[in-house]
Structure 1
Amino acid sequence: MTLKTELDQARNNIKTDSYPISIRELVLLYKDGELDIHPEFQRFLRWTIKQKTNFIESILLGIPIPSIFVFQRDDGVLDVVDGLQRISTILQFMGELKDEEEKLMPPLTLEAAQYLPSLKDKVWDLENPNTVGPEIQKFFRQEKIDIKFLLRDSDSQAKYELFQRVNTGGTPLSDQEVRNCILIMINSEAFREFEELSKNEDFQTACPIPEKALMERYDLEIVLRFLILRSIPIDDVKEIGDLGQFLTTQMRLEFAREEFSLEKDRDLFNRTFCILREAADDSSLRRYDPNKKRFVGPFLISAFEMVALGVAYNIDLVEEYGAEWLREKICGAWSDERTQGIYGQGVSTARRLPKTLEFGRNFFSEA
């Protein structure tokens, strides 16, 4: 197939339109339910007050802002694919932003800005003595924003691909935060299931994740890794190049299915982390130092691959032998010659993953 043929086919899968609309029209679309910004996304929007103020200042100064991307659903509603933080900032400033329960969120109070320091403490509400005033309100509503439409006869996966590629504005989301937003668009029930699994106390104990990584929802990435990698054939793992892209692709394929159910996975997840906690509490996924005869260092993703996924693969046998046996096995894993050179700094994920998974599956099947 030639490049021209590939290009023609790809462009045929993505149909777009574009035109500017005023902020007044944008807000009316939102209030009438014709613009869906996914209130669930608010938990991933990490713009500071300063960033929000700078964005409002840019609009007031007439500085061009990046286009907003929306997807036209079959019911005619416009699904915001990129521009969530910008639209949310506008709506919050104007006191129109609602949360997941359809309740109005507290309106935005601005800070001093570089060119407009008098924005300090300004609000939209005309009854507030610090209001921006009716003239500025009128000017603000009339400002236009370029909207790019991904039309409903585009390929069904196009909006997820677009969201992943154009998520660049403001404070960049982590890879998992982007996946979370995509998952909400694909299957909000699956996302809620993920959230519930991440709150499992045994899981949280076994996976003591640093605060910064938790803010970027690394805990949900660990949950996703468990669900995607728990029984994947090792030969398939060897074909994985970019694990992040692989997780995103598999998530889109697995959780968009109508017959989706996490019932069996939930049970396996709970059993796995229950016995890991019984065996070694918060040390089960740390490295064991045979010389010091204790667990050392932080939570390791390589330990998760070897131990947690190895235990999950052999859960019936592991439960039969019990927590004390499992603790001895975990300690022994770190001095087994088969683990040498398959973890640690300088070992790429693509090179490590087939070895850690295969070792864990074999090691925890050995009585």
Structure 2
Amino acid sequence: MSPEEPNDTAFKPEEVVEEVFEGEATGVEVEHEETTQRDTEIRPWDPEKIRVTTRGYSMRNVLDMIDDGELELAPDFQRNRVWRPRQKSRLIESLLLQIPLPAFYFAEDKSGGLRVVDGLQRLSTIHDFTRNQTFALADLEYLSEECGGKYFEDLSPPLRRRLLNTTQIVVHVIDPSTPNDVKYNIFKRINTGGEPLNAMEIRHCMSRNRSRDFLKLCASSDSFNAATGGRLRDHVRMNDREAVLRFIAFRRLTHISEYEQYGSLETLLDRTAELIDSKDDVPDELLDRWHHDFVRAMDNARLVFGEHAFRKWPRSSDRLSPFNRALFESWAVMLADYHPDQLAGVQTKIVERARAAMTNDSAYIASISASTSDPQRVKARFAKPRAIMQDVGL
């Protein structure tokens, strides 16, 4: 066995740890990875693949682009839009004082559309103040007498012109010809919005409406929320959308051995999102079938495992564990193959065997606990549900 290969026979399960974001538990189990997949995919770094141009825009121009749909503020990407009132007002005050803003980053798609990569909070705040007029200025440092308590329409004409016409911003635009893996690393390095973006949040910025809408449709379904106990509803780190994408990614493989050709889980997920965005690769009929399969898998998971669906449930404990992504993708893909009537009467047997595996099978426990993107562990965790279903006569 090489040093890089996971040693399943020696694996000792650690205590289940729940992810925490900004001091609050997310309801999702931490995935322990020995290496960062993305960091090993582009070595050595090739600067020739970085294609970024710099452009200047007036604030009015940028706001018009948002209104006309030419510039996307990453729809449904909520966590980066939560600013306190003081932060919003101080940003507007800075513009009125003609203090230059840090540069923005946009990503351009092949059709010429632009999407905000870095600077979402700032642009959202400015757009909300000038166009939607959702808040009045408060807690200002220098302009409290002149602007305090005022909405955009209440400002004097010179101040409104200063905000819209005089304010110039510098934008670095990532060219659509830049490879996705390079884009990922650029996004990861430039993000300045507090907590760094995770892989799914970056993928959301990189993808198009078709895949985003489809993932949202599945993630917002009653079946998904019931099967996951509602803990992933509108998830703050987009783990709801990632779970759906992982189901589709593995569901579309003819055999689990095909996983190895992608080199990593993140590459498989990237490619799946790209395929969903293409009607030529994934026609509407196939997308509808995947949605049907997903809903059926969620209903079956709830039928068989109840509130413990997609959670570790060893024989030693009935405690409700956090949502486990590796269990989700492997069991959901399996359960999508069955009509609920086929599962009637064998739920107890399935649960017994699944709990036994989560208690005594060290290789299986390893496959759902650590280095979960390793090809051998992927095969192991997909093989176990198949063996269990065959063992109960399905």
State the structure with bigger RCO (CA 8 A, min sep 6), 1 or 2: 2
User: For residue 299 of structure 1, what is the aligned residue in structure 2?
Assistant: 323
Contact 1:311 1:364 in 2 (8 A): no
Query: What's the CA shift string for 1:78-99, capped at 9, x where partnerless?
Result: 55454333222222111x2xxx
* Correspondence 1:182 to 2:206: yes
* Correspondence 1:208 to 2:220: no
Contact 1:176 1:217 in 2 (8 A): yes
Shift of 1:43: 4.3
Residues 59 and 341 of structure 1, relative CA distance in 2, 3 Å threshold: farther
CA–CA distance in structure 2, aligned partners of residues 341 and 156 of structure 1: 36
User: For residue 21 of structure 2, what is the aligned residue in structure 1?
Assistant: none
User: For residue 278 of structure 1, what is the aligned residue in structure 2?
Assistant: 303
- Which residue, out of 187, 199, 202, partners 2:220? 199
* Correspondence 1:256 to 2:278: yes
User: For residue 102 of structure 1, what is the aligned residue in structure 2?
Assistant: none
Contact 1:60 1:140 in 2 (8 A): yes
Shift of 1:331: 2.6
Residues 4 and 45 of structure 1, relative CA distance in 2, 3 Å threshold: closer
Shift of 1:113: 4.5
Shift of 1:224: 0.8
Shift of 1:240: 6.3
Q: Which amino acid aligns with 2:217?
A: E
Contact 1:342 1:355 in 2 (8 A): yes
Contact 1:206 1:282 in 2 (8 A): yes
CA–CA distance in structure 2, aligned partners of residues 213 and 343 of structure 1: 29
Unaligned runs of 5+ in 1: 97-104
CA–CA distance in structure 1, aligned partners of residues 276 and 66 of structure 2: 31
User: For residue 152 of structure 2, what is the aligned residue in structure 1?
Assistant: 124
Q: Which amino acid aligns with 1:89?
A: T
| Percent identity between the two aligned chains | 20
SS at match of 1:365: helix
Q: Which amino acid aligns with 2:57?
A: I
Contact 1:47 1:170 in 2 (8 A): no
Residues 338 and 236 of structure 1, relative CA distance in 2, 3 Å threshold: farther
CA–CA distance in structure 1, aligned partners of residues 66 and 102 of structure 2: 19
Contact 1:309 1:361 in 2 (8 A): no
Shift of 1:356: 1.3
Quote the RMSD (CA, aligned, Å).
3.8
Residues 272 and 58 of structure 1, relative CA distance in 2, 3 Å threshold: same
TM-score by length of 2: 0.70
Residues 218 and 355 of structure 1, relative CA distance in 2, 3 Å threshold: same
User: For residue 267 of structure 1, what is the aligned residue in structure 2?
Assistant: 292
User: For residue 40 of structure 2, what is the aligned residue in structure 1?
Assistant: none
User: For residue 287 of structure 1, what is the aligned residue in structure 2?
Assistant: 312
Shift of 1:36: 2.2
Query: What's the CA shift string for 1:213-239, capped at 9, x where partnerless?
Result: 723321111111111123534334456
Contact 2:104 2:170 in 1 (8 A): yes
Residues 335 and 74 of structure 1, relative CA distance in 2, 3 Å threshold: closer
Unaligned runs of 5+ in 2: 1-42
User: For residue 124 of structure 2, what is the aligned residue in structure 1?
Assistant: 88
Shift of 1:6: 5.7
User: For residue 13 of structure 2, what is the aligned residue in structure 1?
Assistant: none
* Correspondence 1:58 to 2:104: no
User: For residue 140 of structure 1, what is the aligned residue in structure 2?
Assistant: 163
Shift of 1:66: 2.7
User: For residue 228 of structure 1, what is the aligned residue in structure 2?
Assistant: 249
CA–CA distance in structure 2, aligned partners of residues 29 and 300 of structure 1: 41
Residues 53 and 47 of structure 1, relative CA distance in 2, 3 Å threshold: farther
Residues 323 and 76 of structure 1, relative CA distance in 2, 3 Å threshold: same
CA–CA distance in structure 2, aligned partners of residues 290 and 5 of structure 1: 48
CA–CA distance in structure 2, aligned partners of residues 364 and 357 of structure 1: 12
CA–CA distance in structure 2, aligned partners of residues 190 and 62 of structure 1: 40
Query: What's the CA shift string for 1:184-241, capped at 9, x where partnerless?
Result: x2xx233222222112222212112536972332111111111112353433445666
Contact 1:310 1:362 in 2 (8 A): no
Map 1:312-323 onto structure 2 (within 5 A): 312=336, 315-316=337-338, 319=340, 321-323=342-344
- Which residue, out of 334, 337, 344, partners 2:355? 334
Contact 1:17 1:151 in 2 (8 A): yes
SS at match of 2:373: helix
SS at match of 2:125: helix
Q: Which amino acid aligns with 1:110?
A: L
Query: What's the CA shift string for 1:131-168, capped at 9, x where partnerless?
Result: 4x33432332312111234567x458699658844661
* Correspondence 1:47 to 2:82: yes
Residues 319 and 92 of structure 1, relative CA distance in 2, 3 Å threshold: closer
Query: What's the CA shift string for 1:308-333, capped at 9, x where partnerless?
Result: 23323xx24x7463233134212321
Residues 305 and 78 of structure 1, relative CA distance in 2, 3 Å threshold: closer
Contact 1:70 1:149 in 2 (8 A): yes
CA–CA distance in structure 1, aligned partners of residues 180 and 323 of structure 2: 35
TM-score by length of 1: 0.74
Shift of 1:270: 1.8
Q: Matched residue pairs, number?
A: 338
User: For residue 108 of structure 1, what is the aligned residue in structure 2?
Assistant: 135
